[in-house]
Structure formats: structure tokens, C-alpha cells
Amino acid sequence: MNLYVISGVTGMTGNELARQLIEKKHKVIGFDNFFASSVKTIADIVENPLFDFYEYDLNNIDEMEKIKRKVVSIKKNYNQTIYVNCAAIVHTEHFYYVNRTFETNVVGMRAFLKQAIDVNADVYINCSTSEVYSMHSWSEDGVKESDYITMADAEHSQRTSYATGKLLTEFFIKDAVDEGQIKGCSIRFANVYSKNELFPKHIIPHILHSLKDCGKVELLENSKKNKRTFLYNEDSCQAIIALCDSSDALDGSIYNVATDEEISIVDLVFLCAEKLGIDSPEIVFNGYRKSDPERRILNTDKIRKRTTWRPQISLDMGISECVEELEK
């Protein structure tokens, strides 16, 4: 049995990861400040004796010291201590505000990494993002982790400040591993979605909520051309677990985690409408987002070679799960 410490545990990745780990009989300490989530996402596990939940803020020094003391007091009872940083300000509306994203995504991540090192944790998993690929988000065989990155800078859009911060966190974990302080890696997730998203900020819940509430969807002008792949959060969490179980993969490097099931945003609206029983959804195009790549396809050969991970949930299956949850 291992001890897992998860920041952002009620968020899209955190709550499902905690659920899967508890099912495997691991101990989980999790915390969240409910910035973009709710205790509802962990309602089914919050009373489980294997789960200790705290309404704490990653950037609150006193609260993080309490987490540290808790870990130190019980870690001897477990085979490994594994930190997973799921805390992040990820909604697109915040990408343009440098201070909002920097405090949590960079300063908070670095402090959480330092805590993991201080308590002699065995592993640190850094949840990064495919946003770091910015304007180089597609190639014939999918973008590889080793490919050079072409990013929009402040001359083009503030949007990429979020991606720049996440990129910096990848250097932090690589440096810590290279110096022998801890084992770990970074994961660049691509367009993760979940049935437990409470707020229609990301594209899939936005489409579903809009269709359910008024039978039409407002999209950006970009959506006339944009295509994306979408990764269900059950699969994203399986990738974290697979990496934790693959010691040789924890070399400080980066892993793309995505599907290759590409769909246009317009076709995504029609798929969601079909699942909701709506025949002719109305789409209204309004507004434009700078530095928004038309496609994003990641090559996942690296994680497939180094672990047993493979995505299991098709987009059709995942949307059905989301609709079922929405209609409860």
C-alpha cells in the first residue's frame, strides 16, 4: 500500500485519481480550495477511511505545513510516498491573466515539489499541459515531447503565459530528478474532460450545458476550423498510475498523454446534440481567440513504450457518460 498526496483533489483529474487509488487500497491525502470545483466531486469517497480530505489552499504556507506534518507522521506505514500535483488554474478565461496562473501553477507547484523532497517522498508527478506546444501543436505523426516548441509570445497574446509557466514547472522536476532529490516526471495532458465538471468553462461541458439549457451553442469564430482530440479523465488518471508503477520512466522527462481520435469542434456539437436527443442544434459564432492552434495532435509513443498505458474510453463513450451525469 502506498501513500499518495494529491493537490487539487476535487478537480477534474484529482478526484478521479483519488477514486482509482482508493479502489486499489492505497491511502490518499488530498486537498483543494474549491477554486473551480466542489466537494460534490468527491462525495462518494470523502468518508472513506483511506481518504483524508482538507479544504486547503496550495499557496497557504500554514496549511501546507499541516499537510507536511501529516505526511511525516504516517509515511512510515506505507511502501512509497507519492506526490501528484493536480492543482492548476486551467480554464481558458484565466490564461490571459499572468499573476493568477503564475501563483498557483508555478510558485505553488515549486513549493509542493520542495515539500515532497523535504519529506523524502519517492515520486513526484507534475501534471503539465499540451498548451506548451502553442503554435506547434500538430504534425504528420503527432507532436513528440522531443520536438522543438514554437510559442506565441507577449507580442501575439497573453494566452501563452499560462503555457510558459507550465513549461517552467517541467524544468523544476527535471532538475530535481537530475540532482537525485526525487524520482518523477511531467505529463502533458491534451484536452482532458470529465463527467464531473461542474462549471461549463471547457468546450465539452460548455456545449452540453448550452444544448441542454437552450438548444443552441455559442462558439468562437476559431471553431469553424478548429479540430481537437479529447481525453477522458479516467484515462488520464490511468496514465498517472501507470507512470508511478514504472520506475524506469520516472527520469524527469515529459510524457504526452492523449488520444488520436480527432474531431472538429462543429462535429463535436453535433455528437453532443445526438446524445441529448437534439436533431438540429443551432450554432452561433461570436468572438475570436488569438494564438489558438487549429489542430492539436500529440504523439504518445513514448508513454506507450515505457508503460502499459493505452486510452480505453472513446469519445463516443465519454460523451455518453457526461450526458448521463448531466441528466441526473
Average pLDDT over residues 80-89: 88
Phi, psi of 310 (to 5 degrees): -145, 140
Q: Pairing relation of β-strands 262-264 and 227-229?
A: antiparallel
**The C-alpha cell that represents 264 in the structure block:** 472538429
Q: Is 252 helix (H, G, I), strand (E, B) or coil?
A: strand
DSSP state of 180: T
Average pLDDT over residues 128-147: 94
**pLDDT tier at 89, thresholds 50, 70, 90:** low
Asked whether residue 188 is assigned to any structural domain, the reply reads yes
pLDDT at 95: 63
**pLDDT tier at 152, thresholds 50, 70, 90:** confident
Residue 184's beta-bridge partner residues?
A: 124, 251
DSSP state of 106: I
Q: How many CB atoms lie within 10 A of CB 8?
A: 28
Instruction: Compute the distance between CA of residue 19 and CA of residue 28 in angstroms, rounded to an integer.
Output: 9
Determine contact, residues 193/11, Cβ cutoff 8 Å.
Answer: no
| Model confidence at 127: pLDDT above 90 | yes
Phi, psi of 193 (to 5 degrees): -135, 165
Q: Indicate the pTM of the whole model.
A: 0.94
Instruction: Compute the distance between CA of residue 25 and CA of residue 3 in angstroms, rounded to an integer.
Output: 10
Asked whether residue 321 is assigned to any structural domain, the reply reads no
Per-residue pLDDT of 32-78, as tens digits, reads 988 767 788 999 999 999 999 999 999 999 999 999 999 999 999 99
Question: Which residue range(s) make up the domain with 175?
Answer: 3-194+230-260+292-313
pLDDT at 258: 98
DSSP state of 148: P
Asked whether residue 323 is assigned to any structural domain, the reply reads no
Asked whether residue 47 is assigned to any structural domain, the reply reads yes
Locate the DSSP E strands across 102-153. 123-129
Asked whether residue 135 is assigned to any structural domain, the reply reads yes
Asked whether residue 41 is assigned to any structural domain, the reply reads yes
What string of H, E and C letters represents the secondary structure of 85-101?
Answer: ECCCCCCHHHCCCHHHH
pLDDT at 90: 60
Asked whether residue 277 is assigned to any structural domain, the reply reads no
Domain count across the chain: 1
- Within its chain, how far is the Cα of 135 from the centroid? 20
Q: How many CB atoms lie within 10 A of CB 35?
A: 18
Asked whether residue 212 is assigned to any structural domain, the reply reads no
Query: The domain that contains 11 carries what CATH number?
Result: 3.40.50.720
| Model confidence at 203: pLDDT above 70 | yes
Instruction: Compute the distance between CA of residue 306 and CA of residue 10 in angstroms, rounded to an integer.
Output: 29
| Model confidence at 96: pLDDT above 90 | no
Determine contact, residues 298/256, Cβ cutoff 8 Å.
Answer: yes
Angle CA 242–245–248, to nearest 5? 105
DSSP state of 253: E
Q: What percent of the chain has pLDDT over 90?
A: 82
Angle CA 49–250–192, to nearest 5? 65
Q: 260: closest CA among 235, 233, 297?
A: 297
Per-residue pLDDT of 252-295, as tens digits, reads 999 999 999 999 999 999 999 999 999 999 999 999 988 889 99
Query: Quick one: CA torsion of 25, 78, 189, 110, rounded to 10 degrees?
Result: 150
